[in-house]
Amino acid sequence: MRLLWSWLVLVLALVGVGSRPALADASATVDPSCFRGLSADGSTGLFDQPSANPGCSWRLRTGSFLGGFVENGYLLVGDRFRSMGGGVAVAATLGQHIELALQLGAQLGRIESSSTSPELAPEPSLLAISQFKLQLKLHSAWGRLVHVALMPTVRLPGAGQDFAPVPLNLDAAIDALLELNLRRALPQLPLTLSAQLGYVHDRSLRALDAQDCMGGTVADCLRARLQSTAAYSVGLPRLRLSIGAQLPLHVWRSLWLVPAVSYRIEAIVGDPDPVLLALLGMQSTAAVQNGRFQQWLTVGGRIWLGLPLSLDFGVRIGLQSAGYAMGAKVPQVMGYGALTWEIDLLAGQSQAADGRGTPAVPSVPPVMKTGAETRLCRVSGAIRDVQTGQPLADAVVHFVGQRHNALLTDDKGSFVSGELSCGAVLVEASRGDHQTMRLPVVLSAGEQAAVDIRLPKLLRAQAGRLWLLSQGDDGSKLPARATLSRDGQVVSLLSEEGGLFARVAAGAWLLRVDAAGYLSREQTVVIPDGGEQRLQLLLSRRGREPKVQLGGAEIVLLSPLLFGPGGASLSRDSERVLDEVVDLLIHHPELVQLRIEQAADLQAGDGNLLEQQVIAVRDYLVSQGVAPDRVVARVTEGPRRTPPRISFKISAERHPSP
């Protein structure tokens, strides 16, 4: 009992340490894709179903769990067996592919007689056992929906009521884990399926090697052996298979409920306890002695309040026991509860897991200020009806090009984002009965920008009109070609007196303009519902000699990018160079992402200026129609490059040009 109190103090200390970063920002919430809790096995998961995907990298989870049952006739007719077990666990995700877990556990068993004659009932006996468990999980995404993992485990059990470890009884296990997240394919069905297949080389039967009951009767010896087997959770080498399902439900604001169910079957492959086998044969030839299978069903759930804290509850229902000689009997009903607390080791700088289950990298990564410090921003605001000004609750707020989960506005129509990368951010707001609107915001380092987005009601769609006047940079009118594209639909603008004209359905369209001898342009335009949009677009003349070339692994700038003295403002010549980069991207849609990189000697202190310069390059490209999620800007450690290097990666599937 003294050791149990020590473990309880350890859990409270860990929770206290973990609460400091949370208390520093009371408004901070935890991403559901990051917070995964702990299973009874000591690793990430729920109940006795470990998860292949432990969530975001560089997280520390601490937890305590408790399980127990009371069952009459559990060992012998007329007895009552009380069992209570629990422990503390610590698990850390080290990078993107490793999770390390540690568990200290203990179990107490009390055997009482249910005889109606107290004078005939023997004194109740109390037995105890402890264990130390170390786990390593190697995990990775496998496609967009599947996560796989390999989890070896080493367990060191104790011996008897002194809780002393017995190195000779060291055993091990190896498990293969799989997780299928259907929500990424079917957002309306947020179901997660999991499976576990493994082998446990259980050597806990050796804990009974020193037990000697030769001085008593066969019945006394049998009783002592059964009691020790149950209280010490003695098991044999076995194969195990389990399947489970979880359904995360967003109940209200930051309140989540995660119902879960799992089924497990174990096939025992080791030899039965020879002592119990012999004693049971002497006592009763009809007794179940050496069945090979045991099964149980676990039903329950998890309550999550949006804080890095979860409460688990449930019951384990025994379906089949293997027999006394094959180890501890499966109880009929066992209650279970757990508490898990999570600490972000990077103090909020790690991102949510992406579609592949790996820590997400934002489209504009936080550029370096010093060797370890990053600069992050936030966006807050309100979503309202454009006509009445009334706040719109439960509107969806999405940050285009950012690896950030969508938000729901509260009853007042308000929202506050998590940490975002600084620079140009496109805020998108939508609701089922209103039109979708986007608002560009430029965030400075450490800034929390406030926005107010007004959504028009969604009425029956009517065609809108677009008038386009294309001119050269010298003001001359151009015989240009223009198209509007959306969701695979392409509409060509017709030449009319006064410019180019098109009548299309209302909403956002991608406009592309081409003219001989001029650089192409793309721009997102919003056609009003039943209204008219007039747009004037200037095209830059294509130079005699190109200043940009498409190389084998990067975009080569033949002219350097120049900035104002000691600043980050682009010169006009540099803007013309970037105009050619925009033209190159338009004609090569298979280039799905640009990386604007500049190396800096951070110890020399030139990181801040270079950071502003690469962001200025990215913001200019975005202002000329390049999608924000297509451009990444960052400063890296190394010798300074002049000009900044612009590289790209090519998608495995080449997309046709519009």
Count the residues in the chain: 658
Look at residue 183 in the predicted model and tell me its pLDDT.
76
Tokens, residue 533: 């949009």
Distance CA 521, CA 514 (A): 7
What CATH number corresponds to the domain at position 294? 2.40.160.40
Is residue 525, in this structure, part of any structural domain at all? yes
Look at residue 399 in the predicted model and tell me its pLDDT.
86
Question: Do 520 and 552 sit in the same domain of this protein?
Answer: no
Domain boundary residue, one of 418, 451, 484? 451
pLDDT digits (tens, 9 = 90+) for 473-503: 777 888 889 999 988 888 998 888 778 888 8
- The sign one gets for the Cα dihedral 400, 402, 405, 409 is negative
Is residue 147, in this structure, part of any structural domain at all? yes
Is residue 75, in this structure, part of any structural domain at all? yes
Distance CA 559, CA 546 (A): 9
- Cβ partners under 8 Å of residue 15, min gap 6: 62, 341
CB contact at 8 A, 170 and 146:
no
Cα 330 to chain centroid distance, Å, stands at 34
Domain boundary residue, one of 344, 366, 395? 344
pTM listed for this prediction? 0.53
Question: Do 487 and 607 sit in the same domain of this protein?
Answer: no
Is residue 151, in this structure, part of any structural domain at all? yes
Question: Do 469 and 562 sit in the same domain of this protein?
Answer: no
CB contact at 8 A, 322 and 313:
no
Residue type, 443: L
Question: Do 469 and 607 sit in the same domain of this protein?
Answer: no
* Residue range of the domain that includes 218: 2-344
What CATH number corresponds to the domain at position 486? 2.60.40.10
Question: Do 421 and 506 sit in the same domain of this protein?
Answer: no
Sheet-wide strand order for 645-650? 548-550, 554-557, 645-650, 591-600, 631-637
Distance CA 187, CA 409 (A): 19
Is residue 655, in this structure, part of any structural domain at all? no
Is residue 458, in this structure, part of any structural domain at all? no
Low-confidence ranges of the chain (pLDDT < 70): 1-33, 114-126, 159-166, 184, 187, 212-216, 253, 283-290, 346-375, 459-462, 600-607, 637-658
Question: Do 286 and 426 sit in the same domain of this protein?
Answer: no
Question: Do 424 and 469 sit in the same domain of this protein?
Answer: no
Question: Do 8 and 36 sit in the same domain of this protein?
Answer: yes
Domain boundary residue, one of 451, 480, 499? 451
Is residue 352, in this structure, part of any structural domain at all? no
Is residue 86, in this structure, part of any structural domain at all? yes
Beta strands in 473-506 (DSSP E): 481-486, 489-492, 494-496, 499-505
Q: What's the total number of domains in the chain? A: 4
Look at residue 362 in the predicted model and tell me its pLDDT.
33
Question: Do 403 and 508 sit in the same domain of this protein?
Answer: no
CB contact at 8 A, 465 and 491:
no
Question: Do 58 and 206 sit in the same domain of this protein?
Answer: yes
Question: Do 124 and 233 sit in the same domain of this protein?
Answer: yes
Look at residue 574 in the predicted model and tell me its pLDDT.
86
Residue type, 343: I
pLDDT digits (tens, 9 = 90+) for 450-470: 899 999 987 655 678 888 888
Question: Do 615 and 560 sit in the same domain of this protein?
Answer: yes
pLDDT digits (tens, 9 = 90+) for 571-622: 888 888 888 889 988 888 888 888 887 776 655 556 677 788 888 888 888 8
